[in-house]
C-alpha cells in the first residue's frame, strides 16, 4: 500500500544560518595578532581561528586593519586594565609594584600568548603597514604620557626624592615593564620574572 502525496510530511524549512559568537571570534583574532603580529597574521589564519568565513569576517569586522583596531580595543580593555589601576595607587612605589606585578600576571596567564601586542607591532611591521604601526605607537605614547604625569605628580607631592628627575624615573619604570614583556616572550620563567621585580623594587627610591 502506497502513501498518498496528500498525507506525506511536508519538507523541512531551510535552516537558519548558524550564528557565531562575535566576542569569542574577536578574542580568537586577538590571540592570532598577539602571537604572529599584524604582518604575520594572514586572513586565512584569522578566519580559521575565529571559526567564520571570509565573507562573515568582512561583513562583521571590516578589513584586516579595521579588525586589528577592534582587537587592540579589546586587548586594552581586558588585558591591560591593570596599567590604569596601577596609576591609582597612593604612592609612586605602589604604582611601580602594581604595574610590575600586573605585567607578570599578564605573562603567566596560560590563556595568553607571551610578550606584548604593543611591543610586537611597534618593532615588527611590513611595508604598507605604516598606518598600523602609527596607530600602535600612538596608543603606546598615550600610556607613556600617563605614567610620566603620575610620577611627576608623586614628585610634586614629595613622594620622589628631589635628587631624581621624575620623568626619567617614570621612563625607567616603563623600560622595566617592557623588559619584563620581552623577557617573558624570550622564555623567562615566572620565578625569574619575580626575581627581576623584587630587585627593581629594592632599588626604588622612596617609600
Q: What's the CATH code, domain 19-70?
A: 1.10.10.60
Query: What values do phi and psi take at 107, rounded to 5?
Result: -85, -20
Query: Using CA atoms, how far apart are residues 98 and 82, in angstroms rounded to an integer?
Result: 8
pTM of the model: 0.77
The whole-chain average pLDDT of the chain stands at 85
pLDDT at 125: 58
* Fold that domain 79-202 belongs to in CATH: Tetracycline Repressor; domain 2 (1.10.357)
Query: Using CA atoms, how far apart are residues 30 and 130, in angstroms rounded to an integer?
Result: 20
Predicted confidence (pLDDT) per residue in 71-81, tens digit: 999 988 888 88
141-152 residues labelled b (16+ CB within 10 A) or e (exposed): eebeeebbebbb
Least confident of 83-92, 113-122, 135-144: 113-122
Predicted confidence (pLDDT) per residue in 165-177, tens digit: 999 999 999 999 9
The domain segmentation of the chain, as residue ranges, is 19-70, 79-202
Amino acid at each position: 500500500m502506497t502513501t498518498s502525496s496528500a498525507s506525506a510530511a511536508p519538507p523541512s524549512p531551510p535552516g537558519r544560518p548558524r550564528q557565531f559568537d562575535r566576542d569569542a571570534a574577536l578574542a580568537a583574532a586577538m590571540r592570532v595578532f598577539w602571537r604572529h603580529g599584524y604582518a604575520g597574521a594572514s586572513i586565512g589564519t584569522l578566519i580559521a581561528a575565529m571559526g567564520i568565513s571570509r565573507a562573515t569576517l568582512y561583513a562583521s569586522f571590516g578589513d584586516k586593519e579595521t579588525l586589528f583596531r577592534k582587537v587592540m580595543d579589546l586587548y586594552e580593555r581586558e588585558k591591560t586594565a591593570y596599567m590604569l589601576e596601577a596609576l591609582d595607587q597612593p604612592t609612586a612605589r605602589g604604582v611601580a609594584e602594581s604595574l610590575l606585578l600586573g605585567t607578570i600576571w599578564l605573562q603567566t596567564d596560560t590563556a595568553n600568548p607571551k610578550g606584548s601586542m604593543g611591543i610586537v607591532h611597534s618593532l615588527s611591521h611590513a611595508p604598507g603597514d605604516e598606518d598600523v604601526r602609527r596607530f600602535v605607537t600612538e596608543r603606546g605614547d598615550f600610556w607613556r604620557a600617563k605614567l610620566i604625569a603620575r610620577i611627576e605628580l608623586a614628585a610634586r607631592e614629595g613622594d620622589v626624592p628631589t635628587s631624581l628627575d621624575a620623568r626619567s624615573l617614570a621612563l625607567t619604570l616603563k623600560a622595566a615593564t617592557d623588559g619584563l614583556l620581552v623577557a617573558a616572550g624570550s622564555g623567562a620563567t615566572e620565578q625569574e620574572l619575580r626575581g627581576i621585580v623584587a630587585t627593581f623594587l629594592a632599588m626604588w627610591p622612596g617609600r
